[in-house]
Structure 1
Amino acid sequence: MADRSSRSNDELKSTEDNKRCCSREMEESSNNQITSANGEKVDYRIYGMDCPSCAITIENGLKRLDNIQDAKVTYNTSKLQVIGTNALSPDSVENEVKKLGFKIEPLKQNKNIRTYSIEGMDCGSCAKSIENHLNIIRTVRYVSVNFSTGKMKVEHENSVDEIVSEVSKTGFKASLLENGSKPIDTSENKEGYGLITLSGILIALGFIGSYNGIPLFMSTILYAIAIVISGYKPVKSAFYAVKSRSLDMNVLMSVAAIGAALIGEWFEGATVVWLFALGTFLQNRSIEQTRRSIHNLMDLAPSEAWIKVESELVKKPVEDIPVGKIIVIKPGDRIPLDGEIIQGETSVNQAPITGESIPVDKMIGDAVYAGTINESGSLEVRVTKLVEETTIAKIIHLVEEAQEQKAPTQAFIDKFASIYTPIVFILAFVVIILPPLFGFGTWGEWVYKGLALLVVACPCALVISTPVAIVSAIGNAAKNGVLIKGGTFLEKAGAINAIAFDKTGTLTEGKPKVSEIESLTVSEEELISIALTLENYSTHPIAKTIVAYAKDKGVKAKNGELFKSIVGKGVQATINEDIYYAGNLKLFDEMNIFTGDVRSKVNEIQSLGKTVVIIGTQQEIMGIISVSDSLRSTAVRALTGLKQVGVKQLVMLTGDNEGTAKLISSETNVNRYFAELLPEDKVDAIKQLQSEGHKVAMVGDGINDAPALATADLGIAMGGAGTDTAMETADIVLMADNLEKLPHTIKLSRRALSIIKQNIWFSLSVKFIALILIFPGWLTLWMAVLSDTGAAIIVILNALRLLKVKE
């Protein structure tokens, strides 16, 4: 039967864990659980893997350790499972993974992991400094700081106050997040702004006074006070960074400022710390705009819900409401929890979840989602999910998880910066010491140039160029009902030039209807009864259509047994000791029972774009049921939009006959189609497109067509709002059944790639120019600071443009 093979649960089960395999055999055994008779099993999450070869590296590294019996890394879920003896040390596992260049986070067994919000980080080196400082504390077992989301995860035995205090020593502010609460608001840091303003005034007074006859020592005192005010925080942070063997921007700026003061350049030293403080403040304000795109999602679902207590309505915290409880939603209110309507009718604005601007009509039996808006009627809703399991909660979790994953470009830049900074730092000391030792100029001259070189060694603009762009793009997409599951997939989407679509349920509504019944050897009622008996155990959309049609007609099923699915062809069952079949042309062709009249009738129906379900036995064809599916209203517009954003190949994959495929392809204006496909044929079609040099995305419903979704460079699922599996398995999820979100996704991804490239080249160009200007003596210290902080602000503002990209 058409497309039946693509719906096979067996095929789906065997391929779910093979997704994103990069032609590697590791995934072939990913379903096999690691077992040990007396071993301890520990699970971890791995961050930083950008291809399955990373998984092999981790496995091989861990298997060499003592007390480890086995280790298995599943690339597409980023999970590590380790089996070891009772003497297995979690620290040894974590240290080995970190040595290999990846981040590791224990799962499940460690219940003391707490999440904190960190205020004041303006690039990745800040996160590294906090990690390094906390790692030297004996009571801290694990720490991971993510710059993009501004969050820190810590497993510790000491108190929360002690962790907050330790973070404050590094110059940042931490606050504990409980139950997904909002991070601290950093948008109105009055104290920091006031200190920056005060030190700026002191510098200005000292500079003006030096030209108006006030004693030199008075200007120096003003500069010194300004250095203390603006420099206290970075110097304090630098002290703890050096103590934990980090070389971050606080160290570089502090050395530059103190060095300038020691050689008598008080104005330069004061200007360095002031510009650095101002730049950091502006960077923090700008970065918060990107983080706010996710924080705002947290505000969508109300914290309380109305429930009925006898004859009265009482407000209750959503955390206290169990599954099955009846809640009341008034007109105009936001829906607090996912549920099913049991009383009332209304229109619901689902834009926060699906990005759809037009409200959706809802009635009894329909699902509603937390965070959406009840526009008109009053509703009674039976809660179906706890607050932490709602669709909006999963979206927030998935988006934050996506932002924590490093894209290949970001991983490369971070590695480059980790090499660049110490090299330039060492070069700065060489410049300070060697030239004056060999008589090339004065100490003061070369010390000044070395200090300028130290400032240029700070790679802040470079390392911030990629993550801010990725966070902005992922936040924009989430706001528009599209989940991009990480920077890797954002980059892949930007490179896509061919998209393959499953026909049923993607280009078409997936809600076929019985359009014609042709009885040949039995009555129509008898034919429908046999068809109902055969199709009752199938989950295929066409089978469901025939079952629904039979029930509407009041036809009853016969007593059938020995039901069997014939992959890619149909179904069979034994009725009254005879074997009956329902399937497509292929199935009955193999039986050699077609007559000329029946074949011409089938061909005629198929030429009209309808799907044919043939009912019969091995001896005769009993009748033909015609089923037709309507094209999605958004499909043509979406495909036109994809061509406009530069996708060259639009391809339809279907198990339907040639006639149906040709008709649908002409209506949708796809470039080409592949018809009468089995699941393995769809995989071959994807591979054929890849062999032609295309970067291929596959669009399906996230559950079906798993083999093709796994083989494609990018798997895109539709209708994630109603399907947990789609949200969990696909690389990109369109929350609504709306293909029109696809052009925006491709456009946003390409814009993000373009802005990342702009930021990288701009950052490198600024550093290169600054390095050149140092040695002729044209680059002053304050200019060096301005080139670094100014460039960082510019790349942030450039990345923020991604938040404004519209459909």
Structure 2
Amino acid sequence: MAGKLTVEGSCDLEAIRKLGREEDYKITPITEAPPETETLLQVDGISCLDCAGKFEKAVNELPGVASANLNTMTGRLTVSGSVDLAAIRRLGSEENYTIKSVTQGTKSKPQVKEIDWDKRRAILSGIALIGGYAAEKLGGPIFAFLPLYLIAILLGGWSNFKKASRALPRLNFNMSVLMSTAVIGAVAIGQYEEGAVVAFLYAISEMLEEWTMDKARRSIRQLMDIAPKMAIVRRSDGEASIPVEEILVGDVMIVSPGEKIAMDGIILKGESSINQAAITGESIPVEKGPGADVYAGSLNAQGSLEVRVTKLVQDTTIAKIIHMVEEAQGKRAPTQAFVDKFAAIYTPIVMALAVGIVFIPPLFMGVAWAPWIYRGLALLVVACPCALVVSTPVAIVSAISNAAKHGVLIKGGIHLEEAGSLSAIAFDKTGTLTKGEPAVTDVVPLAGQSDYELLQMASNLEARSEHPLAAAIVKFAVAHGHKIDPVTDFTAIAGRGAKGTISGEAVFIGNPRLFADLGITLSARVAQEVDRLQGEGKTVMVIGNESRYYGLIAMADEVRASSATAIEDLKRAGVRHTIMLTGDNGATAKAMAAQVGVHEYRAELLPQDKVTAMQELIGKYGKVAMIGDGINDAPALALSTVGIAMGGTGTDAAMETADIVLMSDDLVKLPFTIKLSRKSLAIIRQNISFSLVIKLLAVVAVLPGWLTLWLAILADMGASIVVTLNSLRLLRVKDRE
């Protein structure tokens, strides 16, 4: 989809961009003006996603900024248009963010010093709170416990007060403003103990929230650390260990046993078993030798290798995976968009309700001010929808990161959610359910020869042919111990087979049509055998001449060992319908469908027919995924609810085309993807329901005075921590359980 918007007449570009930002669209003029430049900034210190959303909105409203998008998980802020870095830093200072310019590939560093100071202040605040509480309960005078309470408030609320002092002049009512108002209000009405408890609990909850959010971010950092940062390279001046950024295409890397491969490349010398689990999710190492592709981040388990580099560090497969995972984490899922809109309505309503509770009863009902001020302050604390806002993105990030570790690339929350609600999956046959390569299945002698003798004859005839079926026969013969002796007068017969001389006799090998063209009628016995084998979905080669038939060799596209298991696992995962789409004839399709266990099949389909079939399936079943190779099946993949490509390693087209990419040619990753997606939807629903119930209970508890300030803190920040920890469970979902 091109994504082009044509506007006739006068055009208010800024107004269009504002409308686009509501749907998370990025709009760039392509004729009226040159594309705006993009600036990448790193934002450190994000813990409250609602506050981060307000910061992103404020950056979008800066003069000269066309669009700004903040990935709250990685801290990457992408700004299009002119950038006033000082202004952005001022906005960031309202939330205690540290902002710096970065280049692609720069990794953020945690602000360890600031976090340590926050911990110390929180601990000292707790000590002062306990001291003040003890002094008050033991009957000490006010000057004994009041200073301790005030110290607890000052230490516990220090960073909070700083954020509030910067945000309030802009009428940015973030969590810090609401919390500071509650603490100061508690002190104003003489609730010193409550104010100290609120400041201390908020400091502790901020630390816990920072810890849980950092745990979610750690999953993407682990991806970034997969590939080594240095490699030994041989050049004309000798061997040296150099940073991967300095390695050029064509350089030769020396990879010792037990070392990780630093760059994508091709093996020049050496053989080894390569553990590609970091890239493809495959647990079993792959044996590789000269000419084989290797990928950055994979582990050389045994022999020493010389590898010619084929891609720069920013273009390696693992670099593309990391980039796509970061992009996917920044894309809002449909559920998240709903939550954001709900929160935008919820917050001002609850704040207005809090103001009403403070003023209406004392003014119009003649009751005392202090209790209602206290209730209003408590309601202010729960006005920030932190738990609700964090309920979806952390779950999405956890699921996408976990999938990437298992060799599944999910390109956004929308695709994760859609995969979790699929009712049917359509499979391309060749290259998906099968390996896409013919393999010999039957050797049928018809002239008193042994299997061995017939196979020797066939392989000698086909040794000089370049046809895939001929190659399959030769490969099978070599695997069974045959020494190939090619015929000297080999003649290829286009589209039919081949001819050669064996023991002074002309012998043909080819499909039944070859013999029909030669005017040779198949005997009843031969025709019966041919019909039987073709009925099993196999391609049959006849070996013979005008005087006799030596035998038949049948071949079929070899079914992947994982196909039947994957189909069965999908059924257990709740996918009610599986369909095979193939260009093969009906008999072959029927035999294959029975072998792998799909519910139904559509045969003799051209590429355009697959699109029609997909339209029919969507009309019949609703949400339908299509899994193919990402290139030949592109139209059907684009039309499907979720397009899934097989074998993304080394295949840029597959990684670009599909919504989900299985990095290895392993179908068992598909049931894992469906299971992970459904688990994600379940956890997102749990998080949203829990957040709404907690908020509702807090609001209901205000009027009778049951909601204390410290309970309001637990209801708000506690709920945020609970939904974050619940989301992190997605990091532990395994591909086989």
CA contact under 8 A between 1:115 and 1:153: conserved in structure 2?
A: yes
Structure 2 counterpart of 1:174: 99
Structure 1 counterpart of 2:10: 66
Q: Is 1:760 matched up with 2:691? A: no
Cα distance in 1 between the residues matched to 2:9 and 2:156:
48
Cα distance in 1 between the residues matched to 2:511 and 2:374:
83
CA contact under 8 A between 1:517 and 1:524: conserved in structure 2?
A: no
Structure 2 counterpart of 1:725: 653
Structure 1 counterpart of 2:20: 97
CA contact under 8 A between 1:116 and 1:177: conserved in structure 2?
A: yes
Superposed displacement of residue 446, structure 1: 1.3
Aligned CA distance change for structure 1 residues 778 and 740 (closer, same or farther; 3 Å): same
Superposed displacement of residue 724, structure 1: 1.0
One-letter code of the match for 2:70? V
Aligned CA distance change for structure 1 residues 216 and 147 (closer, same or farther; 3 Å): same
Structure 2 counterpart of 1:655: 583
One-letter code of the match for 1:126? C
CA contact under 8 A between 2:325 and 2:411: conserved in structure 1?
A: yes
Structure 2 counterpart of 1:117: 42
CA contact under 8 A between 1:511 and 1:630: conserved in structure 2?
A: yes
Structure 1 counterpart of 2:120: 194
Structure 2 counterpart of 1:184: 109
Superposed displacement of residue 308, structure 1: 1.3
Percent identical residues: 47
Superposed displacement of residue 524, structure 1: 9.5
Superposed displacement of residue 666, structure 1: 2.4
Higher mean C-alpha deviation, range 732-741 or range 202-211: 202-211
Higher mean C-alpha deviation, range 730-739 or range 155-164: 155-164
Residues 187-266 of structure 1 mapped to structure 2, 5 A cutoff:
189-266=115-192
Q: How many residues align?
A: 690
Cα distance in 2 between the residues matched to 1:369 and 1:663:
37
CA contact under 8 A between 2:255 and 2:304: conserved in structure 1?
A: yes
Aligned CA distance change for structure 1 residues 499 and 92 (closer, same or farther; 3 Å): closer
Aligned CA distance change for structure 1 residues 529 and 316 (closer, same or farther; 3 Å): closer
| Aligned partner (choices 232, 246, 249) of residue 323 of structure 1 | 249
Structure 1 counterpart of 2:561: 633
Structure 2 counterpart of 1:271: 197
Aligned CA distance change for structure 1 residues 698 and 96 (closer, same or farther; 3 Å): closer
Cα distance in 1 between the residues matched to 2:645 and 2:156:
51
Cα distance in 1 between the residues matched to 2:65 and 2:641:
40
Q: Is 1:153 matched up with 2:78? A: yes
Q: Which sections of structure 1, spanning at least 5 residues, go unmatched?
A: 1-16, 18-29, 31-54, 69-88, 536-540, 561-569, 572-582, 615-622
SS in 2 for 1:788: helix
Q: Is 1:391 matched up with 2:317? A: yes
SS in 2 for 1:630: strand
Q: Deviations over 1:162-184 (max 9, x none)?
A: 75565234322334444413221
Structure 2 counterpart of 1:143: 68
Residues 547-566 of structure 1 mapped to structure 2, 5 A cutoff:
none
CA contact under 8 A between 2:577 and 2:599: conserved in structure 1?
A: yes
Structure 2 counterpart of 1:443: 369
Q: Deviations over 1:267-316 (max 9, x none)?
A: 22222222222112101111111111111111111112111134732011
Cα distance in 2 between the residues matched to 1:481 and 1:605:
38
Structure 2 counterpart of 1:619: none
CA contact under 8 A between 1:347 and 1:359: conserved in structure 2?
A: yes
SS in 2 for 1:609: coil
Structure 2 counterpart of 1:566: none
Which of 1 and 2 has higher RCO (CA within 8 Å, sep 6+)? 1
Residues 128-527 of structure 1 mapped to structure 2, 5 A cutoff:
128-134=53-59, 142-154=67-79, 164=89, 167-185=92-110, 189-310=115-236, 312-513=238-439
Q: Which sections of structure 2, spanning at least 5 residues, go unmatched?
A: 445-456, 477-483, 497-509, 543-550
Structure ID, larger Rg: 2
Q: Is 1:707 matched up with 2:635? A: yes
CA contact under 8 A between 1:186 and 1:288: conserved in structure 2?
A: no
Aligned CA distance change for structure 1 residues 646 and 217 (closer, same or farther; 3 Å): same
CA contact under 8 A between 1:247 and 1:422: conserved in structure 2?
A: no
CA contact under 8 A between 1:136 and 1:244: conserved in structure 2?
A: no
Cα distance in 2 between the residues matched to 1:772 and 1:164:
39
Cα distance in 1 between the residues matched to 2:704 and 2:125:
31
SS in 2 for 1:692: helix
CA contact under 8 A between 2:328 and 2:410: conserved in structure 1?
A: yes
Give the TM-score of the pair, scaled to structure 1: 0.77
Structure 2 counterpart of 1:772: 700
Structure 2 counterpart of 1:605: 533
Cα distance in 2 between the residues matched to 1:448 and 1:383:
67
Structure 2 counterpart of 1:576: none
Cα distance in 2 between the residues matched to 1:404 and 1:142:
14
Cα distance in 2 between the residues matched to 1:350 and 1:194:
43
Cα distance in 2 between the residues matched to 1:692 and 1:584:
39
Superposed displacement of residue 354, structure 1: 0.4
Cα distance in 1 between the residues matched to 2:664 and 2:195:
56
Residues 605-624 of structure 1 mapped to structure 2, 5 A cutoff:
605-611=533-539
Give the TM-score of the pair, scaled to structure 2: 0.84
Cα distance in 1 between the residues matched to 2:705 and 2:470:
80
CA contact under 8 A between 2:37 and 2:81: conserved in structure 1?
A: yes
| Aligned partner (choices 127, 137, 158) of residue 52 of structure 2 | 127
Q: Is 1:794 matched up with 2:722? A: yes
CA contact under 8 A between 1:128 and 1:246: conserved in structure 2?
A: no
Superposed displacement of residue 66, structure 1: 3.3
Q: Deviations over 1:228-277 (max 9, x none)?
A: 22223223323433444433222221222222222222222222222222
Structure 2 counterpart of 1:666: 594
Aligned CA distance change for structure 1 residues 433 and 542 (closer, same or farther; 3 Å): farther
Higher mean C-alpha deviation, range 261-270 or range 468-477: 261-270
Superposed displacement of residue 627, structure 1: 4.0
Superposed displacement of residue 613, structure 1: 8.9
